[in-house]
Structure 1
């Protein structure tokens, strides 16, 4: 009996040692803090050939986590397009977008490099430390074109101001003529005088309106010449200036490479610079030829348009002045005849008395 009690007490103590984990290592069933002694990390077998369920769940979680991380990394590094294959084959066709992305990056890189070189060339030209290409035949024509554009714009603005002022003066003539006509009816002794002046003012109103309309037609033609014909040529001028700056930028780079030493590292750069320079030179030549053709066409069109518009403006002003002069002469003659007629004179109240 004592032996059985002794064994029972020993078994209770062993159960207490197994089931009561210590505080320093809550995940382990022993009193040591050694991680390697934790039963979680050791496959516990209940029977022969059977693994503990806890180790199986941990292995499954670890495998699924690693699979998700690998899939995410693959999606970030290789953006692909997946399309199904033929029906019944079970195959999948994968299209990679790396080529498209690399092409876009290459275009952005070339554009950035070109912009940097052009900006540097412009700054060097403004600071007087860079050379620029000047066409002795084309450059004076461009300066004349810019000067003509400014002068034509000033003429158009002045013509618009004149047309608005003539319109205002015509309205004033009309208002004055209406007032004189009313006074002619209300003042019988001065009926002739008020009537003649009212008629003259009304004629000046009509002639002024015709002149203002002619000037507005002139300004419309000038605006068409400025805003369409010349502006279209100025677009080619801007393209020519841009091509010239790029040409000078690549030319300066090629000159710097030619002045430097030549070895195995600089020869590929020199060949690439020579190739880029030839491309820019061809582009510059083409834009120059296009601009020359545009300038020739503009010169012919400008002469024709200005010839017609200036002739119409001059004829309108001459007609306005001549008609007003003729009308005023007839009005003066009529006024002199009416005023010289003694029947129109009335006796004074002193003479009547």
Structure 2
């Protein structure tokens, strides 16, 4: 028997044995034959002229590394993330379909890594960042304005709660004074001791005093309820302004700042690749460096377009916010001033006029009033 036939028989026996062997990885047993088949397809597509020789080479070394991708020795430390990204990039080069979940994960991971690195370098002052001084000053003013409006809103709510407590106390005071006014008038003890007109007048005056103070407390509590209605209207509109109108602009600003960070990360990454390709001499990695530079340049162009669009959106929203804020707060401050001035002076008619001016009506307390 010739040496060629012996080699072919050995190869056949090797192929037969691989169908039953398994590779025990950290994810469980993996069939080596499936890996070999994928290797044969990949190698056949990449180099059809030497397909049989490559397949035989793969079968001879499948016990050492049954993976379908050319892997490098594992790195240690912070380079694990870089190597993982490199492996994923190599995997995508074998497949015609690039829109897979693994592609999305790879892109998200690389973007997060770049942005985190950019943010840390900015904090340490090791890299440059895009700065629009005028816009950043306006953004900082808006954040301070939102903070001050939140403080006014908090104080208004505290004031409303305190007035509710005071009004509840005034209503309780009215009930007790009114009850005492009735008791002093119909008290049997008081009727028994009344022996003269002066004593009868004194008892009647005491009853009248209780009744007068009860009516005063009732009137103040009624005006306090109207003040609470005006204050509630003020709080409602201020809440809408702070947590919806201003917050909508703040959300756009956050998106703009995230786009700025991503743009700077891609820009500095591209500058680093261009610097490396310029200073490095001719080597086998020149083609891969040029490809990476081209991909990063396209990505940077997309991110820059998004950054500039969000920058325009922020400028427009801040302009409209200033106009809307001026209109809303002018109306609410007029209400706040007139309501408290009328309440403090005890002018019930002016307080009613203020509520009517702003179309403020009391909420029905029961279904019969609806």
TM-score by length of 2: 0.60
Name the structure 2 match of 1:299: 322
**Residue 156 of structure 2 aligns with which residue?**
159
**Pair 163,219 (structure 1): closer, same or farther in 2 beyond 3 Å:** same
Alignment-derived partner of residue 333 in structure 2:
310
Give the aligned CA root-mean-square deviation in angstroms: 3.1
- After superposition, give the CA deviation of every residue in 1:97-154 in whole Å (9 maximum; x if it has no partner): x655873322222221111110001111112222221112211111011111111111
Structure 1 residue runs of 5 or longer lacking an equivalent are 1-62, 80-97, 328-353
Distance in structure 2 (CA, Å) of the matches to 1:270 and 1:66: 42
Counterpart Cα distance in 2 of 1:66 and 1:160: 76
User: 2:9 — aligned with what?
Assistant: none
Written as runs of structure 1 = structure 2, the 5 A alignment for 1:45-124 is 103-124=100-121
1:192 equivalent among 208, 213, 224: 208
Contact 1:177 1:198 in 2 (8 A): yes
SS of the equivalent of 2:108 reads: helix
Which residue is 1:143 aligned to?
A: 140
Correspondent of 2:258 among 236, 242, 246: 242
Partner of 2:168: 171
SS in 2 for 1:129: coil
Counterparts of 1:206-225 in structure 2, within 5 Å, are 206-225=222-241
| Distance in structure 1 (CA, Å) of the matches to 2:131 and 2:339 | 45
TM-score, normalization by structure 1: 0.63
Gaps of 5+ in 2: 1-14, 23-30, 39-94, 186-202, 351-370
Shift of 1:258: 4.1
The whole-number CA distance in structure 2 between the counterparts of 1:67 and 1:199 is 100
Who is 2:180 aligned against? 183
Distance in 2 (alpha carbons) for counterparts of 1:187 and 1:279: 86
Aligned length: 249
- Distance in 1 (CA, whole Å) between partners of 2:160 and 2:322 is 28
What is the alpha-carbon distance in structure 2 between the residues aligned to residue 232 and residue 130 of structure 1? 31
SS of 1:133's equivalent in the other structure is coil
**How many angstroms does 1:324 deviate by?**
5.3
The 1:297/1:326 distance shift into structure 2, 3 A limit, reads closer
Change (3 A) 1:65 1:128: closer
Structure 2 residue 220 is matched with structure 1 residue 204: yes
Cα deviations across residues 316-344 of structure 1 (Å, max 9, x unaligned)? 112212335999xxxxxxxxxxxxxxxxx
Q: Deviations over 1:242-265 (max 9, x none)?
A: 100011112222333344435551
Query: Do the aligned residues in 2 keep the contact of 1:164 with 1:212 (CA within 8 Å)?
Result: no
Are the aligned partners of 2:19 and 2:33 in contact in 1 as well (CA < 8 Å)?
A: no
Aligned to 1:277: 300
